[in-house]
Every structure is written in C-alpha cells, then in structure tokens.
Amino acid sequence: MGYLRSVNLAHPRPNPAKPEAGSTGIDKRPTDQPVEVRAPGEVGSGLAGDAIFDGANHGGDLQAVYAYAREALDEWEKELGRELTDGCFGENLTTRGIAVDDALIGERWRVGEQLLLEVTVPRVPCSTFADWLVEQRWVKRFTQRALPGAYLRVLEPGVIRAGDGITVEYRPAHDLTVAETFRALTTEPELLPKLVDVAELPEKTRELARRRTSK
C-alpha cells in the first residue's frame, strides 16, 4: 500500500508562457489541512482551494486530480542537481509507494477512507511547465524520460490529508499503463494501435490514436 506524502494546492502567479490565461496554478505547495476532493464537472480542479486558470487544457472531469510519485521526483533531483519539493511539478498529490507511471489506465485508487479515484491519462508537458521549472529543453527532456505522472477522475468524493493510505482497489484486464500511453502519444507512435482498443481510455484519446494510425 502507498500513501500520500503531501496534498498540494495552487498559489496563483502570473503566467508569462500563456499571457492569455492571465495566471497559472502550477505553483502548488503542501497543506497540512484536510482537503475536500469532489467531482469538478467540466472545469476546475477536483480539490477545494485549488485553482485552474487554463480550463481548455487543465482540469475538468478527466483531469480532476494530478498525481506524481516522490520516487520520480527523487530521480529528477539527481539528474537536475537541485532540490524538488513536493508539489513542484504542479501535482495535487505527491505519492510514495504507489506505482503511478506503471498504473493501468482505468485503475482505481482508494485514498484515505472516502475518496475513490480512477486513472485516466498521462500528463503531457507544456510551455507553462517549462517556464516554471526553468530547465533547458525541459519539455523534450521530460518527454524522453517518460515519467509523466497520472491524471485521475473522481468516482467517489471525499476528504484527504497528508499521510492517508492509497490502496489499489481495482485493476482492469488490459496491460496498458500510464507511461506506455504517454510514449505512444509522444515518442513511440508504433504503440498507438494498442490505445484504440482500451475501453477505459477516454474516447478523445482513443480517437486521437485512430487518426494518427490512419495516416
């Protein structure tokens, strides 16, 4: 069983990478308070007190919660030679002991006693992320490592806090992982046909895979 190292909420700041968005919530910092997580509908984050400014690309039902493994942050710390605090990749949940990138699409996690989440899609890096990290060729480097972290939808709302356990309650029958989905969409297009037949993958992503494989 894994656990939550931290629950992270946005500290809004200007977004020079996307001036049209005005601000960004990528600067997320741990809170020691309980946080309510609910189904956000079409826009917004699933976490009460969090903030989404670019609703066209972030938030909503399929990206209600973003999780990143502390183990992956530790790997990046060694490569970048700098401290990476929990939440610094813009994740809502920093986990320990749960296989985030190797989670199956459609896998379900019980977090604490109430919250039930379902893995939907990997995170795809953007210019806001690159501007925030201030690392050369960051989008390319992040893509090549294929440690994207996972977006999740809220199946059952609940209140969580740092230290809560994470239990995998359900795994689908297929073997498509978050990392493999990411590689298919970025560096390994030969994997795209596998995405088409996974019913647990959001239809928008499956349709993108169909279009790309038909070219």
Residue indicated by tokens 């826009």: 43
- Residue 201, judged by CB atoms within 10 A of its CB (0-12, 13-18, 19+), counts as buried
pTM: 0.94
Domain that holds residue 157: 2-172
CA–centroid distance for 154 within its chain: 13
In a domain, residue 6? The reply is: yes
In a domain, residue 199? The reply is: no
Kindly report, residue by residue over 7-36, the tens digit of the pLDDT. Answer: 999 988 777 767 776 788 899 999 999 999
Helix axes 178-185, 203-214, angle to 10 degrees: 40
Confidence of residue 82 (pLDDT cuts 50, 70, 90): very high
CATH number at residue 8: 2.40.33.20
Got the DSSP string for 17-48? Answer: T-GGG-EE---EEEESS-EEE---TTSS-SBT
Confidence of residue 58 (pLDDT cuts 50, 70, 90): confident
In a domain, residue 187? The reply is: no
Kindly report, residue by residue over 126-153, the tens digit of the pLDDT. Answer: 888 999 999 999 999 999 999 999 999 9
Task: Please determine, for residue 42, whether its predicted confidence score (pLDDT) is greater than 70.
Answer: no
Number of domains in the chain: 1
pLDDT of residue 52: 78
In a domain, residue 80? The reply is: yes
pLDDT of residue 107: 98
What's the average model confidence in pLDDT over 180-188? Answer: 98
pLDDT of residue 15: 75
| Whole-number average pLDDT of the chain | 93
Q: Which SS3 state, helix, strand or coil, does residue 137 take?
A: coil
DSSP conformational letter for 156: E
What's the average model confidence in pLDDT over 187-207? Answer: 96
pLDDT of residue 201: 98
Q: Higher pLDDT residue, 61 or 53?
A: 61
